[in-house]
């Protein structure tokens, strides 16, 4: 009996402690668990609502969104000065201050009815803006009817053996070209380059289309063939159209867009041709000037040796605004990334995590107009760029297949993988190198290590009026925020 009692006492003394005696989780674990997808969805819904009119850079609507971000960061104690008069009712000019940056920009808006007609092979296609086509949003006013000339990928680069205009006369024509570039071509292939070539060849307007054969990069980024909103930065009017509409133009010659794209990708020589079809483009444009605003908040580092260094979390909040009656809400792009930034700031400010380095939170504007906000920051940084341990860019982070696509430059990919393990997301990460396009690009060009975080899989409403709050998935937002928080802690607290 005595032996039994002794054994029982020993078992009680060595048994696992009850719930009341369970050690508290680590500060990072507590912070990760406190992330709220409901809060992030509320921010996405608010920013993509009609009250903000699509947050076009330089408008009162974008300034209103800047005020919202500034107020939120200030309420967390992360935005000490420079935003008191950041309002739409006053001068619309942000006062000088370390925590707000502003530059004037040109605001282009399409007004009235937007029309595009394509006629070929005895058929005239009826079209709807936002479904069948989208004008390039800074196109000049236009009302032109002209023959359509298909010019492949729209490249004119004889030095690299590629010239889609060889043997053709584009003067007075509307040129139709594919988005992107043929496999194996490493020259300039952006929209601005192609539009410049078309103008130099004498074209009066252009049409661009995403071909049905997507490149591996396009597929990885979740691209679709739907028309997308874009700026052209050139005085030549143009529009983005669907492959079906392109096929209407090509049908008169017995061709399809897929056939021509496949031959171009096989390097079978130029596939350019006179289509026999005609197009009419018609709309009006107005222009004005307004301020582009970056909003900056800071969580000071707690290590006297490291506090002068920083990790920067950035997300652009601007989108395309409202044109010709079409609202571009920009829920996934990029109210989602903005919501992740705000939630990460909230949790870090409230948690017991006290990283060694300072954490900067930057809400960029002007991303859709050529990375204007991030280039402004790189030219006028709050801290010298050589003190940035890394820049983390969060963009369209709320739609897809549940995985996270992460692009890394200037850092070992193992660091990005370590953050995935800390966040409990190792099996859901797809790690890559540099992503062309996005607010990380000016930082990468300046020698700052960057990590780009986007949600993986298809983004079917990318740069379209259909990018609304109800298409955003809360569970994907939460995964993105968990990863960004873990990565920020890892980089900000490392020796």
Give residue for tokens 């619309």.
92
Give me the DSSP letters along 3-37.
HHHHHHHHHHHHSPP-GGGSPPPPHHHHHHHT--H
Domain span holding position 292: 27-107+288-493
Domain count, the chain: 2
379 shares its domain with 453: yes
pLDDT at 25: 56
Here the tokens at position 71 are 């107020």
Ranges in the chain, pLDDT < 70? 1-25, 79-99, 220-222, 233
Q: Which of 290, 300, 314 is nearest to 377 (CA)?
A: 314
pLDDT at 320: 97
279 shares its domain with 292: no
324 shares its domain with 397: yes
405 phi and psi angles, rounded to 5 deg: -100, 125
pLDDT at 20: 41
- 252-305 pLDDT, tens digit per residue, is 888 999 999 999 988 878 889 999 999 999 999 999 999 999 999 999 998 889
Q: Cβ contacts of residue 45 below 8 Å, gap of 6+?
A: 331, 469
Here the tokens at position 386 are 């050589």
Q: In this structure, is residue 203 part of a structural domain?
A: yes
Q: What is the CA radius of gyration of the chain?
A: 26
- 62-84 pLDDT, tens digit per residue, is 999 999 999 899 889 885 433 33
Angstrom distance (rounded) from CA 490 to CA 495: 10
pLDDT at 12: 35
128 shares its domain with 267: yes
316 shares its domain with 254: no
Q: Which of 369, 232, 394 is nearest to 292 (CA)?
A: 369
Q: What is the CATH number for 463?
A: 3.40.630.10
Here the tokens at position 120 are 């070929």
Q: Which of 366, 355, 357, 268 is nearest to 55 (CA)?
A: 366
With left for phi above 0 and alpha for psi between -120 and 50, is residue 450 left, alpha or beta?
Answer: beta
pLDDT at 244: 94
Angstrom distance (rounded) from CA 93 to CA 115: 36
């Amino acid at each position: 009996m005595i032996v039994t009692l002794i054994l029982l006492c020993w078992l009680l003394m060595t048994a696992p402690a009850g719930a009341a005696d369970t050690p508290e989780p680590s500060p990072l674990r507590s912070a990760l668990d406190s992330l709220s997808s409901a809060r992030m969805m509320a921010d996405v819904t608010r920013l993509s609502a009609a009250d903000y009119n699509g947050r076009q850079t330089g408008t009162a609507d974008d300034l209103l969104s800047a005020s919202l971000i500034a107020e939120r960061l200030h309420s967390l104690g992360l935005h000490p000065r420079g935003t008191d008069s950041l309002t739409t009712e006053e001068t619309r000019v942000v006062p000088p201050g370390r925590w707000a940056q502003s530059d004037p920009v040109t605001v282009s808006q399409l007004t009235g009815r937007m029309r595009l007609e394509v006629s070929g092979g005895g058929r005239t296609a009826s079209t709807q803006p936002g479904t069948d086509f989208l004008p390039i949003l800074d196109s000049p006013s236009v009302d032109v009817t002209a023959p359509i000339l298909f010019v492949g990928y729209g490249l004119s680069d004889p030095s690299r053996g590629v010239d889609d205009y060889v043997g053709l006369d584009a003067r007075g024509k509307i040129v139709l070209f594919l988005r992107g570039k043929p496999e194996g071509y490493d020259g300039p292939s952006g929209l601005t380059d192609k539009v410049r070539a078309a103008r130099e060849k004498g074209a009066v307007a252009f049409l661009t289309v995403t071909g049905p054969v997507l490149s591996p990069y396009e597929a990885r980024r979740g691209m679709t063939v739907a028309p997308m909103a874009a700026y052209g930065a050139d005085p030549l009017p143009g529009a983005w159209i669907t492959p079906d509409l392109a096929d209407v133009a090509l049908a008169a010659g017995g061709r399809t867009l897929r056939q021509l794209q496949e031959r171009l990708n096989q390097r079978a020589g130029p596939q350019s041709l006179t289509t026999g079809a005609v197009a009419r483009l018609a709309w009006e444009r107005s222009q004005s000037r307004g301020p582009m605003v970056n909003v900056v908040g800071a969580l000071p580092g707690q290590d006297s040796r490291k506090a002068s260094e920083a990790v920067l979390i950035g997300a652009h909040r601007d989108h395309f605004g409202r044109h010709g009656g079409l609202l571009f809400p920009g829920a996934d792009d990029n109210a989602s990334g903005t919501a992740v930034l705000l939630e990460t700031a909230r949790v870090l400010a409230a948690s017991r995590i006290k990283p060694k380095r300072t954490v900067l939170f930057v809400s960029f504007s002007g991303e859709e107009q050529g990375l204007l906000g991030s280039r402004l920051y790189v030219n006028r940084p709050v801290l010298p760029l050589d003190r940035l341990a890394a820049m983390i860019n969060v963009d369209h982070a709320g739609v897809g297949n549940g995985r996270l696509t992460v692009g890394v430059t200037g850092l070992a990919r193992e660091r990005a993988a370590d953050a995935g393990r800390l966040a409990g997301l190792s099996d859901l990460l797809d790690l890559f190198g540099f992503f062309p396009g996005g607010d990380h690009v000016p930082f990468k060009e300046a020698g700052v290590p960057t990590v780009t975080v986007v949600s993986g899989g298809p983004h079917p409403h990318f740069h379209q009026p259909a990018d609304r709050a109800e298409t955003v998935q809360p569970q994907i937002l939460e995964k993105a925020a968990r990863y960004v928080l873990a990565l920020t802690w890892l980089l900000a607290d490392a020796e």
